[in-house]
Amino acid sequence: MTGAVWLVGAGPGDPGLLTRRGADLLSRADAVVFDRLVSPEILELARPDAELIDVGKSSGSHPVPQEEINGILVRLAQEGKAVVRLKGGDPYLFGRGGEEFSHLTSCGVPVGVVPGITSAFGAAACGGIPVTHRDFASSVTVITCHAKRGSSWKPDWKALAAVGGTLVFLMGTSALEEIAEGLIGAGLDESTPAAVVERGGMKGERTVRGTLGSIAGLARSAGVASPALAVVGGVASLNLDFSDMLPLKDLTVVVTRGASDAPRFAGTLARWGARVLVRPSIDPRADFSSPALSDFRPGQHEWLVFTSAHGVEFFFQWLAQKGWDVRAFAGAKIAAVGPATARELEARGLIVDLVPDVFDSAHLAEALAARKTSSAAAFRAWEATDVLSREMARSGCRLDEYPLYRNEMDGGEVGSLSADWVTFASPSAVRGFVRRWKAPGARALCIGPTTAEEAQKLGFQTVTARQASFESMTAALLELARSEKATQKERAN
């Protein structure tokens, strides 16, 4: 039985702009045949064992000829494979999708099409230009600046100048002078707004604005390179830029927490414009095998100390297993390392007596010492650091530690991620992540100094939140993204 080929539009570049149908097919395909303009982030959606064939790569400077691509698609399908033919933008807009469709069907290969967001509209929109606007344009013409091999590129400038509305030129980075000359020669005013959008919707996106008379020179001095498109017409004077409102736009941020707190953190990051990848790197699970736990007797400690929300969760599981409930601890005071842990306790009807001003173990120990604590029981992860016990010992307080759960995730196959930031809320998350993923060039955003230390040890450049909370991690990232954007802008000017 033959396989089948799906012609899939990848959109302008950002994986978020690929259709769900396209992503779904891509994640199942046996083979993916892709063009030059398909971004690596999108290819990461393919199965790790899928055959990836780059037909945009040049041997010399020419991409693989169309006949050869047709041959590759037919061969893969005849081998019984589910093939995704992935094209930038929309497969039928200057994408040769129609030619491939006809060839495949004539060879008896089943074909399907998944439209994509064309860069002609989508990349322009990302660059701040709506291709129509009731005040400026009620039609859009999309023009290629490439001719079929063997013929020369000769647009009908008179017709284009006469049609009015918006003109969008694709593949025209090196033809801007010609476009301007052609349109001015055909009667358009030199002062007609014109803009060039480079890498619309992708990292490094830039929009250069000017007029028909100035745009070629402006683009040249700005060093605009492919992929870029030119927009001519009143809409090119608009600048519907949203990047300042979304400082994390263009950043890919990995959240390494599990199902319990990933959605809220991921939601906050996405609200500020980030593209979020959730890759759980801890696997919290109960382990009540510590001999310390079997020796535990309620009523022996003045304070019960919780250093994580998971700690609270597993404490109650353990109580239930013991056949106890909170009445066994009547009279004990309760300390939580930070607000998330406190919330978990309060959700179970407990009033938290102490949360330190700075949410980490060292400050928790300090706050307990200030209360002249004589004895405390800490319910924690097996992998917890010794900061709390060390600091408590220094203040002469007895701290008994009761490990209740393990965080560490076992190794698996190592995959690669394109990301700008990986967020870590514990050293165990750093270890779990590194065991499974490579994220070349990504920096680590850490919840506190101990986590940062682990991340540095494992090769990350780090930034540490002021407070140990997801809110504070988000704030640190926003602050940094804003200042880095400002520096970039300064450099560009």
Site residues (vs ligand SAH, CB under 6 A): 12-13, 37, 87-90, 93-95, 118-120, 123, 170-171, 197, 199-202, 226-229
**Which residue from 65, 77, 79 is spatially nearest to 105, judged by alpha carbons?**
77
Helix (H) or strand (E) holding 111: strand 111-114
User: CA Rg, the chain, in Å?
Assistant: 29
Rounded-to-integer distance, Cα 76 and Cα 2, Å: 9
Nearest residue (CB) to ligand SAH, 171 versus 246: 171
Position with the least CB separation from ligand SAH:
89
Nearest residue (CB) to ligand SAH, 54 versus 453: 54
Q: Could you tell me which residues come within 8 angstroms of residue 149 by beta carbon, excluding any fewer than 6 positions away?
A: none
Nearest residue (CB) to ligand SAH, 202 versus 274: 202
10 Å Cβ neighbour count for 321? 11
User: Rounded to whole angstroms, what are the CA distances from 469 to 190, 303, 330, 464?
Assistant: 55, 23, 29, 11
Q: Could you tell me which residues come within 8 angstroms of residue 157 by beta carbon, excluding any fewer than 6 positions away?
A: 182, 183, 185, 186
User: Is residue 193 reached through a cis peptide bond, with omega within 30 degrees of 0 on the bond before it?
Assistant: no
Nearest residue (CB) to ligand SAH, 233 versus 356: 233
Q: Could you tell me which residues come within 8 angstroms of residue 387 by beta carbon, excluding any fewer than 6 positions away?
A: 360, 361, 362, 365, 450
State in angstroms the smallest separation of the CB of 1 from ligand SAH.
Answer: 31
10 Å Cβ neighbour count for 146? 11
State in angstroms the smallest separation of the CB of 227 from ligand SAH.
Answer: 4
**Tokens of residue 432, six digits:** 């779990």
Q: Could you tell me which residues come within 8 angstroms of residue 74 by beta carbon, excluding any fewer than 6 positions away?
A: 103, 104, 107, 109
Q: At what angle do helices 427-436 and 449-457 cross, to 10 degrees?
A: 30
Catalytic residues: 35, 57
Nearest residue (CB) to ligand SAH, 119 versus 462: 119
Nearest residue (CB) to ligand SAH, 90 versus 420: 90
Angle at 321 between CA 317 and CA 325, to 5 degrees: 75
Classify 358 as helix, strand or coil: coil
> In which residue are the tokens 């619309």 written?
200
Nearest residue (CB) to ligand SAH, 208 versus 255: 208
Q: What is the DSSP letter of 454?
A: H
- The dihedral built from the CA positions of residue 30, 18, 222 and 441, taken in this order, carries a sign that is negative
